[in-house]
C-alpha cells in the first residue's frame, strides 16, 4: 500500500530527510537510495509517494519513493533458483532409490517426506506471523526441524516463500545442519549404522 506525504526536511550532503504523511502521523525517514530518480533531489514541501518499509533496526522508513513527475520503481519478480529447487527433489528421489534397493528402511523415507512437509508449513506460518507482527517461530526450531530431516522442505520454503533466504547467519547455520544430517545419513548406509537403526526400530 502506497502513501503520500510532503518532504518536511532534506539534508542533501548526507542524502536523507523526513516525510510528513498527508494522512497525519509521525514523520517517516527517507534515504536517497529509496528514490526512483536519484539524479533528482527532493525539495522541502514537495509531494512524494512512497511505500512504508523498515530499516535494519526495525524503524519505519520510506521505500520505492517517487517525486511528482517521476515513475514508480518497477521491481522484476524474483525467480526461484532452479538448482536450489532441484536439490531436495533429487535428494528425496535418491532416498527412494536407496529404500527400494534395501539399503535404507522405508521409515526413513517416510520420515524425510513428513518432516519436509512439517518444516515447509512451519516456514509458511513464521512468514505469515512476520508479516502480521505476530508471535514468531524461533530460528532454533526451524533449524532443528532441518537437522532432524526436514531440510528439503526448508530449502523449498526458502526459495518458494522467499523466507529466511537473505539472513546470512541463518543460512550459514542452516547449511551446517544439512551437512550434519547428510553425515548421519551416510553413516546409516554403513553396516554399523544399519545395525543401530535396526536395533532402534525393533
Question: Cβ–Cβ contacts within 10 Å for residue 159, how many?
Answer: 20
Cα separation, 33 vs 26, whole angstroms: 21
State pLDDT tens for residues 62-108: 998 899 877 655 555 555 567 778 999 999 999 999 999 988 889 98
Average pLDDT, the chain: 88
State pLDDT tens for residues 1-41: 789 999 999 998 888 999 999 989 999 999 988 888 877 88
Q: What is the pLDDT of residue 28?
A: 94
Residue in 33, 35, 26 with CA at minimum distance from that of residue 59: 26
Cα separation, 64 vs 53, whole angstroms: 9
pLDDT band for position 167 (cuts 50, 70, 90) = confident
Crossing angle for the helix pair 168-188 and 191-201, to the nearest 10 degrees? 90
Residue in 50, 42, 45 with CA at minimum distance from that of residue 72: 50
Q: Which helix (H) or strand (E) holds 143?
A: helix 139-145
Which stretch of 5-19, 54-68, 135-149 has the lowest confidence by average pLDDT? 54-68
Take residue 56 and report the three cell numbers written for it: 535494519
What average pLDDT does the segment 125-146 reach?
Answer: 90
Amino acid at each position: 500500500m502506497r502513501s503520500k506525504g510532503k518532504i518536511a526536511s532534506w539534508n542533501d550532503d548526507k542524502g536523507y530527510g523526513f516525510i510528513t504523511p498527508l494522512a497525519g502521523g509521525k514523520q517517516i525517514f527517507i534515504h536517497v537510495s529509496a528514490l526512483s530518480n536519484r539524479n533528482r533531489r527532493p525539495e522541502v514541501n514537495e509531494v512524494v509517494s512512497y511505500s512504508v518499509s523498515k530499516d535494519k533496526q526495525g524503524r519505519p522508513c520510506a521505500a520505492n519513493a517517487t517525486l511528482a513527475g517521476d515513475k514508480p520503481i518497477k521491481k522484476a519478480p524474483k525467480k526461484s533458483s532452479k538448482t536450489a529447487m532441484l536439490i531436495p527433489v533429487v535428494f528425496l528421489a535418491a532416498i527412494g532409490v536407496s529404500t527400494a534397493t534395501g539399503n535404507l528402511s522405508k521409515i526413513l523415507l517416510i520420515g524425510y517426506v513428513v518432516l519436509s512437509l512439517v518444516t515447509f508449513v512451519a516456514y509458511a506460518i513464521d512468514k505469515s506471523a512476520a508479516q502480521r507482527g505476530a508471535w514468531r517461530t524461533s530460528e532454533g526450531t526451524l533449524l532443528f526441524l532441518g537437522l532432524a530431516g526436514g531440510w528439503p522442505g526448508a530449502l523449498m520454503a526458502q526459495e518458494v516463500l522467499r523466507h529466511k533466504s537473505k539472513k546470512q547467519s541463518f543460512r550459514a547455520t542452516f547449511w551446517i545442519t544439512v551437512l550434519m544430517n547428510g553425515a548421519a545419513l551416510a553413516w546409516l548406509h554403513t553396516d554399523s549404522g544399519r545395525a543401530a537403526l535396526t536395533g532402534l526400530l525393533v
